[in-house]
Amino acid sequence: MSTASTKTFSTCFRLLSIVGHLGKKNDVILCGDPKKADQHVIYFGGDVQDYMENMDSHRDNKRYSMWNLEDTASLISKKFPSSAIFVIRPSRMHLKTFSVFQNFVTSNDFGCPTHSPDEEALEHLHELYKNAVSTSTSNDSCELNARVSKPLVLMGFSKGCIVLNQILYELEKINSGDIQDLKEFVKNVKDFYWLDGGHSGGKNTWVTDSSALQALAQLDTKIHVHVTPYQIKDEMRSWIGKEEKQFIKTLKKYGANITRNFHFESEERCIENHFKVLEAFEP
C-alpha cells in the first residue's frame, strides 16, 4: 500500500489498482480507519480532479490543484469526522483532464455516459469496495464481514455523479433479482449526495426516468442535492437545469426523503464556485 500525505486535515493512503468486478481495476484513496469508522463514505470526483502531482504538471489544471483527490478526501473527512472516506479514482483521465468512469458505465473518450440497466456498476462498486477494505485492514473474514456491513454514503461531484446516476438505472434489476449480497449492499446505503452534477454530453445529466427514480424513492435512504449556477444556470446547456428540476419533482412525487440546496445563487456562475460547493455543503 502506497502512502501520500495531504496538506489539509489528515493522512490519506493510495490503494493502487484495486480489483473489482470481472478484473476491472481502480485506484482508491482512503482517508480514515475503516475498522473504527461509524460509516463509510464513497466519493466519485469530477473532471480535472486527480493526484496532485498530475494536476500540478498540467498547464491549465494546476490552478485547481487544491481540489486534488487527496485533499478533497481530507475535506470530506472533516465534514464526516467519524467516517472513513473512499475516493474512487477514474480508470482513465483523458488528456489528463476528463474523468472517464468506464468501469462503471459505458462512456466516450470525454467521459460522457451511455446509461443502461444492463451495466454492472453496482457489481463493480461492491467488489471494489470490499477489496479496498480488505487491502487496508486485516484479512480476518469475520472482521471483514462486520466492517463492510457498515452504513454507506454514496457521493458524486460534477462528472462523478454519473456513477450515482448509473446505479439508479440498476436498482430495479437488483431489487427484483436474487443476488443477496448486492441487495444488502444497496440496503446499507443511507445517504446519496449529488454535488453539482454535470458532464459535457447533450442530455442525461440528471436521471429523469420514472422507474429508476421510483426505485430510489423506495429505498430507506436520504437524498441530498446541492447545486450552483455553474451547472443549472448554464444557458448553453439549458437541459441541465430542466433535468434537475424534473429529478427533484419526480422524487418528491414518489415520497422520497430529499433535500435541495442552491449555493451561490445570487452570484455569477463560475467554475470556482462549482468547486467550492465541496466546501459549502453540509451533511
Q: All domains of the chain, ordered by start, with CATH?
A: 2-280 (3.40.50.1820)
Per DSSP, the three-state class of 179 is coil
Q: How far apart are CA 35 and CA 170, in angstroms?
A: 29
pLDDT at 149: 82
Per-residue pLDDT tens digits for 221-276: 999 999 999 999 999 999 999 999 999 999 999 999 999 999 999 999 999 999 99
DSSP H stretches of helix in 137-270: 141-148, 161-176, 180-187, 210-217, 229-232, 239-253
pLDDT at 146: 44
pLDDT at 10: 54
pLDDT at 2: 39
pLDDT at 203: 87
Low-confidence ranges of the chain (pLDDT < 50): 1-9, 145-147
pLDDT at 114: 94
Per the CB < 8 A criterion, the answer to whether 57 and 64 are in contact is no
pLDDT at 1: 41
pLDDT at 172: 93
SS (H, E, C) the chain: CEEECCCCCCCEEEEEEEECHHHCEEEEEEECCCCCCCEEEEEECCCCCCCHHHHHCCCCHHHHHHHCHHHHHHHHHHHCCCEEEEEECCCEEECCCEEECCCCCCECCCCCECCCCCCCHHHHHHHHHHHHHHHHCCCCHHHHHHHHCCCEEEEEEHHHHHHHHHHHHHHHHHHHCCCHHHHHHHHCEEEEEEECCCCCCCCCCCCCCHHHHHHHHCCCCEEEEEECHHHHCCHHHCHHHHHHHHHHHHHHHCCCEEEEEECCCCCCCCHHHHHHHHHHCCC
pLDDT at 148: 59
